[in-house]
């Protein structure tokens, strides 16, 4: 490996962490291919992480200068003698930054995982205590499943709590203001989130967003992925009830809120989603192009990462 390789990976990591998500988030074609767009977002995130690590490790590889016997050395004194003190310090600092980003990434994943599940567990206990779905004095047509909880609130509220003990939470306002087909649409939407484990996708993007330095990261990726998982859940509900009941239910629940860690049916993206329900459906050509782009973004950096390190390994084994 050489400094050019490290520079290329550094530039690629910066582009994939900032400008590329900013541009991608303004595109409208993902509305016609949300699943493929979500895969492309995941490929961009993984490639950004790989490129960041590759840049730092490429610099770290430059520290393995040939020693007196021709074999790569890890002795600092030999490295300083071969590289010069200023360059050696620069390489060590870059390697340390890379390792710190890796440690922060692992820490962010653990932190997001633990924090989110604690919030969900506390809220799950709360909705179980406040549940009125079994109230004999208030019939709730079509709401009989064990995972559904009904809250005594007049505002239309609908959201789900993912996890091993899943919950779909509705308010009395939803049951009062929606008809049977609209309630079915909302339930289908929320259960699509639970079935597809969209929460894990959002947790991963949250962790990556928190791991990258604030100056280079972009929140566009997280916001776009949040919208895409809602579009996917909408598509699942449309297959059950059609677009009209879902659109009416989304408008009714547009102002609903949900605790952090839950997935709400309404929210700020409601207008975009309702407009999409009356527009074009999934475009297979766009999907294919997005899947190909995702494969290229993942495969090419991986190849360019693996080949230099295989060369280094071969050189090390050949010198032994």
Domain boundaries, the chain: 3-319
The pLDDT of residue 159: 93
HSE (side-chain half, CA atoms, 13 Å) at 58:
21
- Cβ neighbourhood burial of 268 (10 Å; 0-12, 13-18, 19+): exposed
The pLDDT of residue 15: 84
Q: How many residues does the chain have?
A: 320
Instruction: Label residue 35 by pLDDT band (50, 70, 90).
Output: very high
Do residues 18 and 217 touch, judged by C-beta distance below 8 A?
yes
Do residues 150 and 175 touch, judged by C-beta distance below 8 A?
yes
C-alpha span between 47 and 303 (Å, rounded): 12
C-alpha span between 142 and 231 (Å, rounded): 24
Maximum CA extent, the chain: 88
Query: Which carries the bigger pLDDT value, residue 59 or residue 170?
Result: 170
Using the predicted structure, report yes or no on whether residue 73 has a pLDDT greater than 80.
Answer: no
Phi and psi at 26, nearest 5°, equal -90, -5
* pTM, entire model: 0.83
Does the CA dihedral 42-43-46-52 come out positive or negative?
Answer: negative
Q: Taking Cα atoms as reference points, which of 226, 243, 225 lies closest to residue 280? A: 243
Please identify which residue in the block is written with the tokens 């200023």.
86
The pLDDT of residue 227: 93
> Which residues have CB under 8 Å from 176's CB, separation 6+?
154
Using the predicted structure, report yes or no on whether residue 136 has a pLDDT greater than 50.
Answer: no
Instruction: Label residue 294 by pLDDT band (50, 70, 90).
Output: very high
Instruction: Label residue 140 by pLDDT band (50, 70, 90).
Output: low
Name which of 90-104, 172-186, 304-318 the model is least confident about: 304-318
C-alpha span between 78 and 73 (Å, rounded): 7
Q: Taking Cα atoms as reference points, which of 29, 75, 34 lies closest to residue 232? A: 34
The predicted model gives 236-247 an average pLDDT of 93
The predicted model gives 50-57 an average pLDDT of 79
Do residues 158 and 172 touch, judged by C-beta distance below 8 A?
no
Share of the chain above pLDDT 90, in %: 34
State the chain's mean pLDDT as an integer.
82
Strands 158-161 and 263-264: antiparallel
The pLDDT of residue 30: 92
Instruction: Label residue 225 by pLDDT band (50, 70, 90).
Output: very high
The predicted model gives 262-281 an average pLDDT of 84
Using the predicted structure, report yes or no on whether residue 202 has a pLDDT greater than 70.
Answer: yes
**CA 68 to the chain's CA centroid:** 48
C-alpha span between 13 and 215 (Å, rounded): 13
Do residues 186 and 143 touch, judged by C-beta distance below 8 A?
no
Using the predicted structure, report yes or no on whether residue 117 has a pLDDT greater than 80.
Answer: yes
Using the predicted structure, report yes or no on whether residue 5 has a pLDDT greater than 50.
Answer: yes
C-alpha span between 264 and 312 (Å, rounded): 50
Do residues 263 and 159 touch, judged by C-beta distance below 8 A?
yes
The SS3 assignment for 237 reads helix
Using the predicted structure, report yes or no on whether residue 138 has a pLDDT greater than 60.
Answer: no
Angle subtended at Cα 196 by Cα 192 and Cα 201, rounded to the nearest 5 degrees? 120
The pLDDT of residue 48: 84
Angle subtended at Cα 160 by Cα 177 and Cα 126, rounded to the nearest 5 degrees? 95
Do residues 221 and 45 touch, judged by C-beta distance below 8 A?
yes
The pLDDT of residue 208: 81
Instruction: Label residue 305 by pLDDT band (50, 70, 90).
Output: low
The SS3 assignment for 160 reads strand
167 bridge partner residues: 161
- 145-165: buried (b, 16+ CB within 10 Å) or exposed (e) per residue? eeebbbbeeeebbbbbbbbee
Do residues 237 and 188 touch, judged by C-beta distance below 8 A?
yes
């Amino acid at each position: 490996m050489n400094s050019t390789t490290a520079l290329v990976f550094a530039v690629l990591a910066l582009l994939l962490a900032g400008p590329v998500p900013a541009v991608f988030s303004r595109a409208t074609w993902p509305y016609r291919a949300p699943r493929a767009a979500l895969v492309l977002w995941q490929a961009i995130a993984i490639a950004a992480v790989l490129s960041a690590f590759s840049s730092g490790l490429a610099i770290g590889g430059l520290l393995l200068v040939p020693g007196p016997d021709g074999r790569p050395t890890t002795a600092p004194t030999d490295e300083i003698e071969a590289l010069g003190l200023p360059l050696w310090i620069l390489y060590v600092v870059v390697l340390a930054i890379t390792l710190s980003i890796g440690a922060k990434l692992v820490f962010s994943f653990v932190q997001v995982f633990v924090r989110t599940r604690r919030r969900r567990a506390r809220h799950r206990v709360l909705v179980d205590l406040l549940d009125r779905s079994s109230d004999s004095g208030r019939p709730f047509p079509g709401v009989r499943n064990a995972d559904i909880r009904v809250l005594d609130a007049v505002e239309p509220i609908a959201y789900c709590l993912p996890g091993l003990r899943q919950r779909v939470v509705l308010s009395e306002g939803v049951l009062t203001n929606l008809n049977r087909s609209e309630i079915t649409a909302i339930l289908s939407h929320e259960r699509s989130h639970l079935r597809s484990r969209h929460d894990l996708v959002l947790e991963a993007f949250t962790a990556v967003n928190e791991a990258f330095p604030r100056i280079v990261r972009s929140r566009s990726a997280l916001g776009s992925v949040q919208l895409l998982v809602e579009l996917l859940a909408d598509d699942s509900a449309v297959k059950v009830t059609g677009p009209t009941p879902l659109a009416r239910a989304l408008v009714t629940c547009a102002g609903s809120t949900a605790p952090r860690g839950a997935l709400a049916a309404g929210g700020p993206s409601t207008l975009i989603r309702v407009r999409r329900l009356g527009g074009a459906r999934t475009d297979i050509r766009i999907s294919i192009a997005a899947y190909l782009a995702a494969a290229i973004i993942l495969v090419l950096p991986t190849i360019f990462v693996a080949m230099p390190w295989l060369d280094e390994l071969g050189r090390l084994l050949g010198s032994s």
